[in-house]
Amino acid sequence: MTKIVESPLPYAVAEQRYVGLLMNASDQQPTAAVALLPDWRGQSALAKDHARYLVQQGCAVVIADLYGDGFNPTDPNQVGPLVKKLLDNRSVGVKALQACIEAMKIKLGATVPVYCLGYSAGGMVALDYGRTGADLAGIVVCSALLKTAEPGTSTRIAAPVLILQGTQDVVSPLEVINAVIKEMDEARNNFRFELYGQGHHAFDNPEAGNDPNARLVYSAQAAARARVAIAEFLRETGKQ
């Protein structure tokens, strides 16, 4: 079994310091580097589980620091204020992700293809970064907090994009999905949507539980399908 090594990856934007978590295999060179933008809990057990899966696919992964100073919240009462802060300061998240990727390239080498993978609020950050014209091999968002581009900003994304969402997601309902599709079509972006029937927000998170009437609902089937889709996307775009 591949031994996975974890180490901090510091970076900064002006005076604000961040601490990413680098995860890679001890005995092999990565074929790709992935900046993983996690859900509101940051570098949680779930984020690390997603990262381990990617390492098994041959990637090195940095779980980005969403808030700065290595802060990883655990209290569900924090989710509202923290996500609101991300929503109110979308450009800040983009700058932090850019710094994370620059640090990752220095650590792993500039020739390794770079991807962004975002979950929930992290998905919003990943797409916003793509809209800056970022030079990436690909962008994936999964059960994302989907948002169209902020007024006055670009909608063009140079990298191929894969978006994985549930049809019953009340955080990013179908009207939001349709608005993002319209924006992407009009920008002539290279994108693909996969919709999972009866899938809710956080379908990737086993801790969300299985109550179909809840806001967050886990789906083992959707989670497994999403992982297959992500691995296939990495293989497909890696051949280009």
User: What tens digit of pLDDT does each residue of 192-210 get?
Assistant: 999 999 999 999 999 999 9
Q: Domain limits at 175?
A: 4-238
- Is 9:19 a contact under the CB 8 Å cutoff? yes
240: pLDDT strictly greater than 60: no
CA distance linking residue 24 with residue 33, whole number of Å: 9
What's 98's domain CATH number?
A: 3.40.50.1820
CA distance linking residue 91 with residue 44, whole number of Å: 24
The total of structural domains in the chain comes to 1
Mean pLDDT of all residues in 214-219: 96
Q: What is the pLDDT of residues 89-127, one digit of tens each?
A: 999 999 999 999 999 999 998 889 999 999 999 999 999
For residue 238, give the 3-state DSSP assignment: helix
166: pLDDT strictly greater than 80: yes
CA distance linking residue 197 with residue 191, whole number of Å: 20
Residues 6+ apart with CB under 8 A from 136: 114, 115, 116, 130, 158, 159
Strand (E) or helix (H) holding 195: strand 191-196
